[in-house]
């Protein structure tokens, strides 16, 4: 009689080797990253281990990736992902991140927003009472989904790479990492939403409270747009952000179909490009082309934590488990990184979205 057991966690109880290993180690994904000790000076040379709860734990299967092979996979996964993460990397490099410990063990982030209070008053003696108000707090929720992509390696392929001295083929992990990175960027720049646990993940172009408007003409239409019209649009976007009480600094993201328009002369026979002229506008620190930003869209983002931040529950990681008696190794490139678009209780946003 064959018995199929689904791997998972239900009501705190683990079913299957992968779930059991995760639950036993506090949802630490290092418990799914086995390697073989390859230091011949150690007494445990050639034995397989996982790192769980900060300790080396021996396991029976010795056909798994060795340490250097894991390093290859991790290096390729991170490097490939970073090459595609334009908007996500901007948040990381500017320190606009919020790290959650044990993100794999949490499904939502609970956070507060706060209202303003009334203005101060001016008098000669300070005897008159001012309004004794206090800020109001609201509770909100942000889903923390896992973004992931799977691939497999056959045991014979892995063994052949070792016996022939050929380097481990990292094509599969490269493809998987690229797909994960593209999905993260899409969560930031496209019309994707994700709802769970009373909260919704929004992007730059569908956040309900963003400032919106229309371009005077599509920037890739040379007959109608031109440098002066493009500059007029960007100045209007800046003013919309200021009207919403957000005063920069800003980064301007444009869709790929507008990229060459930025490299055109600002005026006929000008010694400046449109891009250079935009960067002369006060407060705009960078102009970037985002591959995943939907065509015909432009977004001006104030790069401060009260406008947008990246919630990180788990960095990009590769985990492994076996099937078919170890003849096939399954791998998953996974991460918990979620953009959080923010605004105050009055709905004032530092994100301005124009399109044509």
Which of residues 323 and 224 earns the better pLDDT score? 323
DSSP one-letter code for 126: S
| 149 lies in some domain | no
The backbone torsions φ and ψ at residue 67, rounded to the nearest 5 degrees and listed phi first, read: -60, -50
Q: Which domain holds residue 219?
A: 209-308+347-355
Domain boundary among 38, 62, 86: 62
Q: What pLDDT was estimated at residue 254?
A: 96
**Contacts by 263-270 with C-beta closer than 8 Å and gap 24+?**
264/222, 264/227, 265/227, 266/227, 266/228, 266/231, 267/227, 267/228, 270/227
| 243 lies in some domain | yes
| 67 lies in some domain | no
Alpha helices by DSSP H, the chain? 17-24, 67-84, 86-93, 155-163, 171-189, 226-243, 259-262, 274-279
| Each residue's pLDDT tens digit, 257-273 | 999 999 888 887 678 89
Count: domains in the chain: 2
**CA dist 97 → 88, 164, 190, 303, 312 (Å):** 10, 44, 20, 11, 7
Please compute the mean of the pLDDT values over residues 188-201 and round it to a whole number: 92
Q: Which of 5-9, 92-96, 178-182, 222-226 has the lowest mean pLDDT?
A: 5-9
The backbone torsions φ and ψ at residue 46, rounded to the nearest 5 degrees and listed phi first, read: 85, -10
CATH number at residue 237: 3.30.2320.10
Q: Is the pLDDT of residue 135 over 80?
A: no
Kindly calculate the radius of gyration of the chain based on its CA atoms and give it in whole angstroms: 26
Bridge partners (DSSP) listed for residue 49:
35, 58
Q: Which of 52-56, 105-109, 234-238 has the lowest mean pLDDT?
A: 52-56
| 26 lies in some domain | yes
Domain boundary among 16, 47, 62: 62
CA-nearest of 221, 296, 285, 214 to 255 is 296
| Each residue's pLDDT tens digit, 224-259 | 667 889 999 999 999 999 999 999 999 999 999 999
- Decide: residue 3, CB within 10 A, 0-12 exposed, 13-18 middle, 19+ buried: exposed
| 219 lies in some domain | yes
Q: Is the pLDDT of residue 206 over 90?
A: yes
Q: Answer positive or negative: Cα dihedral of 85, 91, 205, 231.
A: negative
Instruction: Name the 3-class secondary structure at 86.
Output: helix
| 172 lies in some domain | no
- pLDDT-derived band at 44 (thresholds 50, 70, 90) equals low
Distance of CA 247 to the CA centre of its chain: 25
CA-nearest of 311, 312, 320 to 342 is 311
Please compute the mean of the pLDDT values over residues 292-312 and round it to a whole number: 95
Please compute the mean of the pLDDT values over residues 187-210 and round it to a whole number: 94
Kindly report the pTM of this predicted structure.
Answer: 0.73
Please compute the mean of the pLDDT values over residues 7-11 and round it to a whole number: 41
- Joined together, the tokens standing for residue 196 give 């769970």
| 152 lies in some domain | no
Which of residues 147 and 85 earns the better pLDDT score? 147
| 160 lies in some domain | no
230 neighbors 287 (Cβ within 8 angstroms): no
- pLDDT-derived band at 9 (thresholds 50, 70, 90) equals very low
């Amino acid at each position: 009689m064959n018995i199929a057991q689904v791997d998972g966690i239900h009501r705190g109880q683990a079913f299957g080797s992968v779930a059991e290993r995760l639950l036993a180690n506090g949802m630490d994904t290092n418990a799914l990253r086995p390697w073989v000790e390859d230091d011949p000076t150690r007494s445990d040379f050639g034995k397989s281990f996982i790192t769980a709860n900060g300790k080396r734990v021996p396991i029976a299967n010795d056909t798994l990736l060795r340490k250097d092979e894991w390093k290859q996979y991790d290096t390729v996964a991170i490097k490939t992902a970073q090459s595609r993460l334009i908007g996500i990397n901007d948040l990381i490099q500017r320190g606009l991140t919020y790290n959650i410990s044990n993100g794999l063990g949490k499904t939502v982030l609970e956070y507060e927003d706060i209202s303003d209070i009334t203005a101060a008053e001016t008098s000669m003696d300070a005897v008159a009472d001012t309004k004794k108000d206090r800020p109001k707090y609201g509770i909100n929720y942000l889903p923390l989904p896992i973004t992931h992509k799977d691939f497999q390696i056959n045991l014979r392929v892995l063994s052949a790479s070792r016996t022939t001295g050929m380097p481990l083929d990292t094509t599969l992990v490269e493809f998987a990492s690229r797909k994960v990175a593209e999905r993260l960027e899409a969560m930031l720049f496209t019309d994707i939403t994700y709802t769970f646990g009373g909260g919704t993940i929004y992007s730059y172009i569908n956040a309900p409270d963003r400032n919106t408007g229309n371009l005077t003409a599509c920037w890739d239409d040379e007959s109608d747009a031109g440098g002066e019209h493009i500059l007029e649009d960007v100045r209007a976007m800046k003013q919309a952000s200021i009207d919403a009480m957000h005063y920069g600094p800003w980064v301007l993201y444009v869709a790929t179909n507008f990229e060459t328009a930025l490299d055109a002369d600002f005026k006929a026979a000008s010694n400046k490009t449109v891009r250079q002229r935009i960067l002369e506008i006060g407060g705009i620190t960078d102009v970037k082309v985002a591959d995943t930003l939907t065509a015909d869209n432009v977004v001006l983002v104030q790069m401060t934590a009260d406008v947008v931040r990246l919630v990180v529950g788990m960095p990009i990681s590769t985990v492994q488990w076996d099937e078919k008696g170890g003849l096939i190794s399954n791998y998953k490139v996974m991460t918990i990184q979620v953009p959080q678009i923010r605004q105050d209780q009055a709905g004032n946003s530092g994100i301005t979205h124009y399109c044509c």
